[in-house]
């Protein structure tokens, strides 16, 4: 049997502790599957004294993760520190330049520096594995990088943030406000004390940018993603969606168009009958549309110590199974130097139309003015419904559903209605997406 694979782990938080625990508890099974033992021989974390509920055995302790990354005692450096810059970037770069394989769960790091790091890994002939960076325990990276060889991907989309999906699920199921659901998510540990990164779409955007590169062979461009969060979703939107046969989800969507690549993160109405509409709670799901397989949907735990640790260990196991002299595949499906420059698509017709909610003054001529603004912008309406509220007789809610139209046209029409002085509150615009 080959010598044990020596692994160094930087970061012993929830995920790091789970990785150590799983490597110990599953040692015999992993040895049988990989043909060699996987040994955590070194670790690094900020606090040596903290009780993490794990036995580190004889593992060497490094106060400096960069020193661990460069150590000749390890063959694989596992980065679980987090953050797009700083010590996480320094240690990963140091490991790759020293000829060490790297496993990371850090989507922020990859979305900003992934192409440059991939170039180093490919030059040094080592692996940079990152399954845990997107959708937790779901093997979406391996599927896109390896299993879909020969397929042409036209669109990838999905639910990639468990916090947002949990909040939207609770809002619909229990009639709670966004604020109440967020507080509960924080109490349960599903949301951070400062939840901005999750609820405003940044986390999903980082993950989507990585999938976009894999899907379309382009450089990562997280800064070119149109982004909206869920903080402005209300019970009025949830109820209206249900009445129309839809459910609201925060989706990340990337697709190739004639004018470039479209990347967007935003609340979306999906048909209740679709598979992705049935993904509830903290679960994630990613759909991949291809020319040969059609639509493939992967769903499962998107976060949590064990789910993320499972993906990390899968990446380590892949390295353990490789043999000296084996030519590793490129990090993002094609060599980093061959990744095409990212070209952002122009605003285009959005298949499926738009949901528009307007709270208006209850007075003569409002309906006619709204219809005129829509007609002036060549927007065809599938339906228009008015809801009254006995407690607010001076106000009415108007729900519009458009046929396929242009994003710019919708925004221009809503801007015109706002300028006309008919609205009492900020308008709500939500895309309607065809979904798996």
For residue 110, give both structure tokens: 């990859």
Nearest partner of 209 among 229, 227, 191, judged by Cα? 227
By DSSP bridging, strand 128-129 and strand 101-104 are parallel
Nearest partner of 27 among 49, 10, 47, 7, judged by Cα? 7
Listed in sequence order, the residues at least 6 apart from 149 whose beta carbon sits closer than 8 Å to its beta carbon are none
Helix, strand, or coil (residue 67): helix
Q: Is 207 annotated as catalytic?
A: yes
Length of the chain: 436
Catalytic residue of the set 112, 207, 256, 396: 207
Number of H helices, E strands in the chain: 14, 18
Distance CA 415, CA 32 (A): 63
What is the phi/psi pair of residue 66, to 5°? -65, -40
For every residue of 130-172, DSSP letters joined together read: -GGGSSTTS-HHHIIIIITTTPPEEEEEEE--HHHHHHHHHHH
Nearest partner of 168 among 34, 82, 278, judged by Cα? 278
Lookup result for tokens 């019970």: 235
What is the phi/psi pair of residue 417, to 5°? -60, -40
Distance CA 312, CA 306 (A): 10
Q: Name the residues annotated as catalytic.
A: 207
């Amino acid at each position: 049997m080959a010598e044990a694979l020596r692994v160094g782990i930087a970061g012993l938080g929830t995920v790091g502790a789970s990785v150590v625990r799983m490597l110990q508890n599953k040692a015999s099974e992993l040895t049988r599957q990989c043909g060699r033992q996987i040994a955590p021989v070194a670790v690094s974390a900020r606090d040596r004294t903290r009780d993490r509920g794990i036995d580190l055995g004889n593992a060497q302790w490094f106060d400096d993760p960069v020193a661990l990354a460069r150590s000749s005692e390890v063959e694989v450096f596992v980065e679980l520190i987090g953050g797009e810059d700083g010590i996480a970037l320094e240690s990963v770069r140091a490991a790759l330049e020293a000829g060490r394989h790297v496993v990371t769960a850090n989507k922020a790091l990859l979305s900003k520096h992934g192409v440059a790091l991939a170039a180093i890994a490919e030059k040094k002939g080592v692996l940079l594995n990152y399954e845990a960076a997107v959708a937790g325990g779901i093997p979406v990276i391996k599927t896109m990088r390896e299993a879909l060889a020969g397929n042409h991907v036209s669109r990838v989309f999905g639910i990639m943030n468990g916090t947002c999906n949990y909040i939207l699920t609770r809002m619909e199921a229990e009639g709670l406000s966004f604020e109440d659901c967020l507080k509960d998510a924080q109490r349960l540990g599903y949301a951070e004390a400062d939840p901005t990164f999750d609820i405003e779409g940044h986390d999903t955007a980082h993950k989507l940018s990585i999938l976009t590169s894999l899907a379309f062979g382009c450089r990562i461009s997280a800064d070119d993603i149109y982004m909206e969060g869920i903080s402005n979703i209300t019970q009025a939107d949830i109820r209206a969606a249900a009445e129309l046969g839809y459910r609201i989800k925060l989706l990340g969507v990337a697709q190739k168009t004639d004018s470039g690549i479209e990347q967007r993160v935003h609340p979306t109405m999906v048909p209740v009958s679709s598979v992705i509409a049935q993904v509830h709670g903290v679960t994630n799901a990613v759909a991949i549309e291809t020319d040969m397989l059609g639509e493939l949907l992967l769903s499962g735990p998107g976060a949590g110590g064990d789910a993320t640790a499972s993906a990390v260990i899968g990446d380590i196991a892949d390295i353990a199974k490789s043999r000296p002299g084996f030519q590793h595949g490129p990090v993002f499906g094609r060599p980093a130097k061959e990744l095409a420059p990212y070209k952002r698509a122009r605003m285009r017709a959005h298949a499926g139309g738009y949901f528009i909610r307007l709270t208006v003054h209850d007075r003569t001529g409002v309906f006619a003015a709204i219809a005129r603004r829509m007609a002036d912008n060549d927007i065809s309406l599938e339906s228009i419904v008015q809801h009254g509220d006995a407690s607010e007789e001076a106000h009415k809610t108007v729900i519009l559903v458009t046929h396929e139209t242009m994003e710019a046209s919708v925004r221009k029409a809503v801007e015109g209605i706002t300028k006309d002085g008919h609205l009492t509150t900020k308008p709500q615009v939500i895309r309607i997406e065809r979904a798996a």
